Chain A
Amino acid sequence: MAISEEEVEHIAKLSAFFLSDEEKKVFAKQLSEVLDCADVISEVDTSNVKPTSYITNLVNVLREDEVKPSLSIEEVMKNAPHVYEGVFKVPRII
């Protein structure tokens, strides 16, 4: 299954990063190969198998509404690349 360069560009945009024309070519080829590889599965006869998104038969895994301790603010901020007055800082949005 072939992925076009336009599709690569679209996916990149959705993922909020930008690719050079050269990279688009490379990823189009690589992603096509990945999909071809996964396509092998479609050779299996599944006409008698019900489609599912879940591989366990579990349902209704619920927890009680109890408050558990949150992380300390030091731990929360530990890996933050940008901090302003102790809060996560991000570049302007628009």
Chain B
Amino acid sequence: MRFETTIGLEIHVELSTASKMFCGCSALFGGEPNTHTCPGCLGHPGSLPVTNRQAVAYGIMLALALNCEIAPRSIFHRKNYFYPDMPKNYQISQYDVPLSSGGSLEIDMGDYIRRVGITRVHLEEDTGKSIHVGESGRIHGADFSLEDFNRAGIPLAEIVTEPHLKSPEEARVFLQSLRSIIIYLGISDCKMEEGSLRCDANISISADERIGTKVEVKNMNSFKSLYRALVFEEERQRSLLQEGKTIVQETRHWDESNGVAIPMRTKEEAFDYRYFPEPDLVPLELDPTWVEEIRKKIPELPAAKLERFQSQYSLPQDVAMVLVGEEEMADFFERSADSKASPVEIGKWMVGDISAILNEKGISIKEAPISPQMLGELVLLLEERTISSKMAKEVLLEVFETGKSPRSIVEEKNLLQITDEKELEKIIDEVMAENSKAVDDFRSGKEQALKFLIGNVMKKTRGKANPSLVSDMVRRKLSS
């Protein structure tokens, strides 16, 4: 049997506003528990919400970047349910009249493009955070739980996709592309490990045209765990169907350490959220000129940048893709390519040696002691043949250690390649005098001896001589 996989994602992004969605408390991550709270986000009776203008602007920007239609009028709803991390016993969210809908995002899968429909982008507020106390350290088997409401009320954008993704790999690439766009927009830091980017997935398997029974998977907190959870679910559902069994519609919780998605407690009536319009807020009727102003602020997005990097700088596609994937890398590259050095070489160094050093040190390019100018200088030194590529690698390491410029390191360490022919000639003469047998061997036709002599010159100059120049000079001397 051939099975078709269908996946849809629901993504929550914390917007990086200074204050919360509906009150003036700080929206910063962390802080001592409950120190970023007020009667509003603690759900005290009588407190009233007022919508954060910046959060709305960020929501509009994200919706536009995902090609959504901005609704001329949208409203907030109360989503009612009881959970300890939600002090009001309802979440202010959007329901049937969301901020925006009908968008799409194209993702590049290497050998094909997948166009993924964006059902909607809407605004809501985050919940508090539960800390489970007990031996397990988890919600299951906890003795009791603690509630920190610093996160409660932080603005969230919720992005819902159409079920257009056909594999766990497409889901992973989609989430990465989305994250990259959001970081370019500068509206969230998208740190999955801190929960500022969260992703739930719906997945179903079908052997015919009918859509299969969907299962929701939650709690994936990295790109890898999203992928692993979906592969797990795909396999599980496939073998159930092959055994002729039926799939139960349910919500499963991804357990990263054990690599399994386990069914969550069935809340048979949990989906009865009794949505109704939030009476404490008024509708949003967005002024089209404001929306257009926001549209103008959208920077060049990854897909456009990828194309430009290839045409403007002649970068190979794989290099351009790596650079564009991280906005910081793309910016660094462009500033570095502003120098006289070859952009293609700069690109190669960035995705090669520099990325390797960054990975090893676990830092971002922004945190690294190297500046775009320094990289340009290094590549230029190489292109001018002032240093060899082997030396360039050493100089790069030295830049990371000391933060000094490549040129000053080269000068300090006396690494300048010897291009002065007189100086080289002297060394070559010495080598020939010390190895008269090799000289004779070459003259009697042994080509091998030439390499031996060149090797000795290189050794004497401690690798600072230009090998092709040495080779020419030695050959000239031997045949004279």
User: Which A residues lie at the B interface, using CB under 8 A?
Assistant: 10, 13-16, 53-54, 56, 58-71, 73, 76-77, 84-94
Pairwise interchain contact A63-B50, C-beta atoms closer than 8 A:
yes
Q: Which of B98-106, B164-172, B273-281, B462-470 binds A?
A: B273-281
Distance A22 CA – B148 CA, assembled complex (angstroms): 38
Cβ of B222 within 8 Å of any chain A Cβ, yes or no, is no
Pairwise interchain contact A94-B265, C-beta atoms closer than 8 A:
yes
* Most A-side CB within 10 Å, residue of B34, B37, B287: B34
Cβ of B291 within 8 Å of any chain A Cβ, yes or no, is no
Distance A56 CA – B282 CA, assembled complex (angstroms): 8
Q: How far is the CB of A78 from chain B (nearest CB, A)?
A: 11
User: Which residues of A sit under 8 angstroms from B53, Cβ to Cβ?
Assistant: 62-65
Candidates A13, A56, A61; contact of B50 at CB < 8 Å:
A61
Pairwise interchain contact A84-B19, C-beta atoms closer than 8 A:
no
List residues 35-83 of chain B with CB under 8 A from any CB of chain A: 35-39, 42, 50-56, 73, 75, 80-83
Pairwise interchain contact A93-B142, C-beta atoms closer than 8 A:
yes
Candidates A53, A62, A65, A90; contact of B146 at CB < 8 Å:
A90
Number of residue pairs A-B, CB distance < 8 angstroms: 131
Knowing A14-B272, A61-B51, A73-B34, say if A66 contacts B284 (CB, 8 Å).
no
Distance A69 CA – B24 CA, assembled complex (angstroms): 7
Q: How far is the CB of A73 from chain B (nearest CB, A)?
A: 6
Pairwise interchain contact A76-B281, C-beta atoms closer than 8 A:
no
Knowing A62-B52, A65-B53, say if A87 contacts B284 (CB, 8 Å).
no
Q: List 18 A-B contacts (CB under 8 A).
A: A14-B272, A14-B274, A53-B75, A59-B282, A60-B287, A63-B52, A66-B24, A67-B18, A68-B25, A70-B25, A70-B36, A73-B32, A73-B35, A86-B33, A88-B146, A89-B147, A92-B145, A94-B139
Pairwise interchain contact A62-B51, C-beta atoms closer than 8 A:
yes
Q: How far is the CB of B62 from chain A (nearest CB, A)?
A: 16
Candidates A14, A56, A59, A77; contact of B34 at CB < 8 Å:
A77
Pairwise interchain contact B274-A93, C-beta atoms closer than 8 A:
no
Knowing A63-B51, A70-B37, say if A90 contacts B144 (CB, 8 Å).
yes
- The residue on B at minimum CB distance from A84 is B146
Distance A33 CA – B21 CA, assembled complex (angstroms): 39
Pairwise interchain contact A76-B19, C-beta atoms closer than 8 A:
no
User: Which residues of A sit under 8 angstroms from B276, Cβ to Cβ?
Assistant: 53
User: Which residues of B sit under 8 angstroms from A76, Cβ to Cβ?
Assistant: 34-35, 37, 42
Q: How far is the CB of B265 from chain A (nearest CB, A)?
A: 6
Cβ of B119 within 8 Å of any chain A Cβ, yes or no, is no
Q: How far is the CB of A60 from chain B (nearest CB, A)?
A: 6
Distance A58 CA – B280 CA, assembled complex (angstroms): 12
- The residue on A at minimum CB distance from B150 is A70
List residues 356-409 of chain B with CB under 8 A from any CB of chain A: none
Cβ of B301 within 8 Å of any chain A Cβ, yes or no, is no
Knowing A65-B19, A65-B52, A92-B143, say if A84 contacts B133 (CB, 8 Å).
yes
Cβ of B427 within 8 Å of any chain A Cβ, yes or no, is no
Pairwise interchain contact B142-A92, C-beta atoms closer than 8 A:
yes
- The residue on B at minimum CB distance from A15 is B82
User: Which residues of B sit under 8 angstroms from A13, Cβ to Cβ?
Assistant: 269
- The residue on A at minimum CB distance from B285 is A59
Pairwise interchain contact A71-B39, C-beta atoms closer than 8 A:
yes
Distance A93 CA – B274 CA, assembled complex (angstroms): 22
Cβ of B26 within 8 Å of any chain A Cβ, yes or no, is yes
Candidates B19, B33, B80, B134; contact of A87 at CB < 8 Å:
B33
Given contacts A15-B82, A53-B276, A91-B144, could you give 12 more A-B pairs where the C-beta distance is less than 8 Å? A14-B269, A58-B282, A61-B282, A62-B51, A65-B53, A71-B39, A76-B35, A88-B147, A88-B148, A89-B144, A90-B144, A94-B139
* Most B-side CB within 10 Å, residue of A14, A15, A77, A92: A92
